[in-house]
Amino acid sequence: MFSVDRLRILRELAERGTVAAVAEALSMTPSAVSQQLKVLAREAGVALLEPDGRRVRLTDAGQALVLRADDVLAAMDRAVAEMAHYRGSPRGQVRVASFPSGAALLLPPVLTALADSGVQLVAGDEDLPPSEAWKLLADYDIVLTHRDERAPSLAGPRLAARVLMREPIDVVVAADHPLADRDSVRPEELADETWVSVRGGFPVDDVLNSIATVTGVRPRIAQRLNEFRVIETVVASGYGVALMPRFAVAHPDLTVLRLDGVRAARVYEIVTRPQAHRRPAIATVLAAFEAAAEDVLTR
């Protein structure tokens, strides 16, 4: 029989990468973590870890056991959820990570919806590229992330993902820009512009790369900033143009232009562990996010 607590430690190692990080997350000493992993290896009867420089990494057997650990821990979560059901209503704390602009759009109505639900939502704003969002599940129950609409879903053997909504990405220019009297613009008309963009790996930058493919011209990116409020202020001052998600635009002195000829949108995606939705508290939060996204799209 495997110890559930030791299986949890193994999964933490798979997600956090180092014994020291696991020890910090679980309020244990590194030596205690190492000892528990050795005991788990004895229980398994096979090596679960191997040296990797000054660190350790999972063997093939260790990686296989992590997948089974997911199943075991999910079953434990379901048992807790069933007991919550018998107590009459979903209760408990649900930790949610979300990217800043998504949180600004959806978090207020979600918090309002949960006010009398018995579920306590603990929110964190985390600005990671979509490809790294899965790492946040080490500390959160739900991760709201975003990706380019042409990128594949984040769903996988250890991740469940559901699409919440699609948000178009537009071009924003200052009120006195030569294109400011237009409703839309084609990529080739932007070939000579100076751009204010986000860091690489985020959906807005993916769209800018698509513009480069259409025009054959490498965009002249003068600044990379990840805070949309800062980008808006810089563009409104007359310095360059930018791509912005449609629902994130708030500056009164910007003109928004629809981008023609390029698929330009980001998809909001909710990521959890498989079976997490079977916990009533998590299901309640997921439903609140879905309702908030539907409300945005029907305004």
**The predicted structure's pLDDT at residue 186:** 92
Check residue 146 and give left, alpha or beta (phi > 0: left; psi -120 to 50: alpha).
Answer: beta
Structure tokens at 29: 């000493």
CATH architecture of 88-165+267-298: 3-Layer(aba) Sandwich (3.40)
DSSP of 46-113, one letter per residue?
A: S--EEEETTEEEE-HHHHHHHHHHHHHHHHHHHHHHHHHHHTTS--EEEEEEE-HHHHHHHHHHHHHH
Tell me what the mean pLDDT of segment 25-31 comes to: 91
Domain covering 4-71, topology: Arc Repressor Mutant, subunit A (1.10.10)
**Equal fold, 88-165+267-298 vs 167-265:** yes
| Helical H segments across 114-143, by residue range | none
pLDDT in tens, 280-297: 889 999 999 999 999 999
Q: Domain spanning 167-265: which CATH class is it, in words? A: alpha beta
Distance CA 177, CA 201 (A): 28
Domain ranges in the chain are: 4-71, 88-165+267-298, 167-265
Does the pTM of the predicted model rise above 0.75?
Answer: no
* pLDDT tier at 157, thresholds 50, 70, 90: confident
Tell me what the mean pLDDT of segment 155-168 comes to: 91
pLDDT in tens, 205-245: 888 888 888 888 888 999 999 899 999 999 999 999 999 99
**The predicted structure's pLDDT at residue 166:** 96
**The predicted structure's pLDDT at residue 165:** 97
pLDDT in tens, 74-111: 888 777 767 766 565 667 889 999 999 999 999 999 99
